[in-house]
Structure 1
């Protein structure tokens, strides 16, 4: 290759796009005009069809995987886990499932009601009875302080206070063994009506028989089975303290055994008339199938003006 002549351009792009030498002016204008033309734009991409893609509704067996026509949400929206579980559960529920669910709800409701009833019996009745006992004890003591000494007592009217020191029991004694008027109010009731009428402590002979709840409603006689021979039982009236000592116990007897509160009770160990006390309550615990009987014998009669008996001191 021979070297170019002096003054000639060696730019490899020189003359690119220019008409060859020797072309006329018209050809050069056309060539220049052609270089200024713009290329045509590329063809537009085809627009996608309107509507969700074929896979938007999921496979036919995928319950609730995607919502579509007849579903619970707009087409193409995926369900949350909670919604998917609900949809699957609703699809699977049968009459048997619905029936078992209803039975379960009934059992739960019944269980709650039973729990409330047990709470009422074992707790609330004792609370209410304690309030009644305090109120009636205060009423009795106020009557004594005022010097009131009625000849007879109406059913439910308190007239004495019983102490069982070993069991830490202090409870008012009211006329009658009526449940609503006496026993359910937490008090001890005196058998003083009809063929079950028994003596008062002040009488020279006889059996002062009383009844009290063993469970619920204050349960004053719950632990009388723990008494032993010689344990004191004191009855305070408006003018006298009567002290008895426990003598015997009959663990179980039918409610029909009214001889247990007779003037000289069989099985008590007493053989002749005297001044006795009889405590009666239900047994076994939380039932009223049988009766438990505790007997005692009077050992001291002390005027209140002389102060408390030894059994209540110390």
Structure 2
């Protein structure tokens, strides 16, 4: 005999359905509450903001250091190569007449010579003046040409050809001049001639206000009478401008540019 279960009540099924729906809603609500992050108090918010600020400042500082140590040198190297190339091209195209006197004055920022320090593998144009924006920050070496610090030129029969250059960043042409020792050669090429100097002495540190180091007979150099001298000046210690480092030399040779470079530039 087959038996049948009594049919379920319609109201019972509806109640169970409503109960299931309510349970699902409560479960979804609990899930949403668990996913919502805790906002925290004012101290937490300020800590997060401070952390983000320090991270941003750190990135900015890294970018600035990279710009100073790498990018300024890259820009300076391009300027140095372009300026030296232009000078050599102009001199070769329009050499000075044999009886023409050397040019004694140039416009501020104008390149007029090339400085070589063979021991340090330095080849850098020399421009008139020591303005940072127009000369030094472009990677060039600047000639002290403004009063009251005006100094001599290589062609002068007597005088001190005084130059300034960066030790760090912007091409850093004078970074290693502290490695020069007496007897090392320094050569200056102009449109007319090559002038060879021999390094004689250096001053490791002196205040920036000590302008006596670039006088016609520079104080502290060991020179006691007028002559034909060269002075290189740069900042020290490295990456600061607190003091100045000075290197002096005495001219030992001069030859017309038409005769070719001196042996000091041709030797390996």
TM-score exceeds 0.5: yes
Give 1:313's aligned residue.
Answer: 266
The range that moved more, 262-271 or 218-227, is 262-271
Separation in structure 2 between the aligned mates of residue 269 and residue 151 of structure 1, nearest angstrom: 27
Q: TM-score, normalised by structure 1?
A: 0.77
Q: Are 1:50 and 2:24 matched, yes or no? A: no
Runs of 4+ displaced beyond 6 Å: none
**Residues 170, 67 of structure 1: alpha-carbon distance in 2 compared, 3 angstrom cutoff:** same
Separation in structure 1 between the aligned mates of residue 111 and residue 95 of structure 2, nearest angstrom: 13
Q: 2:55 aligns with which of 108, 113, 118?
A: 108
Give 2:46's aligned residue.
Answer: 99
**Residues 201, 310 of structure 1: alpha-carbon distance in 2 compared, 3 angstrom cutoff:** same
Superposition deviation, residue 255 in structure 1 = 0.4
Equivalent runs, 1:48-127 vs 2, <5 Å? 48=16, 50-52=18-20, 66-68=27-29, 78=31, 84=34, 87=36, 89-90=37-38, 93-127=40-74
Give 2:99's aligned residue.
Answer: none
Q: Are 1:240 and 2:193 matched, yes or no? A: yes
Separation in structure 2 between the aligned mates of residue 52 and residue 113 of structure 1, nearest angstrom: 57
Separation in structure 2 between the aligned mates of residue 39 and residue 256 of structure 1, nearest angstrom: 119
Superposition deviation, residue 252 in structure 1 = 0.6
Superposition deviation, residue 94 in structure 1 = 1.2
Contact 2:157 2:228 in 1 (8 A): yes
Q: Are 1:192 and 2:145 matched, yes or no? A: yes
Separation in structure 1 between the aligned mates of residue 122 and residue 85 of structure 2, nearest angstrom: 16
Unaligned segments of structure 1, at least 5 residues: 1-34, 59-65, 72-77
Superposition deviation, residue 237 in structure 1 = 0.7
**Residues 151, 268 of structure 1: alpha-carbon distance in 2 compared, 3 angstrom cutoff:** closer
Separation in structure 2 between the aligned mates of residue 198 and residue 267 of structure 1, nearest angstrom: 17
Q: Are 1:294 and 2:247 matched, yes or no? A: yes
Superposition deviation, residue 39 in structure 1 = 5.1
Aligned with 1:90: secondary structure?
A: coil
Equivalent runs, 1:196-215 vs 2, <5 Å? 196-215=149-168
**Residues 165, 40 of structure 1: alpha-carbon distance in 2 compared, 3 angstrom cutoff:** closer
Deviations 1:125-168 (A, max 9, x none): 00100111111111211221232665531111111000000000
Contact 2:188 2:194 in 1 (8 A): yes
The range that moved more, 145-154 or 238-247, is 145-154
Separation in structure 2 between the aligned mates of residue 175 and residue 289 of structure 1, nearest angstrom: 24
Q: Are 1:224 and 2:172 matched, yes or no? A: no
Separation in structure 2 between the aligned mates of residue 287 and residue 218 of structure 1, nearest angstrom: 15
Q: How many corresponding residue pairs?
A: 257
Q: 1:275 aligns with which of 209, 212, 228?
A: 228
Separation in structure 2 between the aligned mates of residue 128 and residue 220 of structure 1, nearest angstrom: 13
Aligned with 2:171: secondary structure?
A: coil
Unaligned segments of structure 2, at least 5 residues: 97-102
Whose relative contact order is higher, 1 or 2, with alpha carbons under 8 Å and at least 6 apart? 2
Aligned with 1:194: secondary structure?
A: coil
Separation in structure 1 between the aligned mates of residue 160 and residue 84 of structure 2, nearest angstrom: 24
Contact 2:95 2:192 in 1 (8 A): no
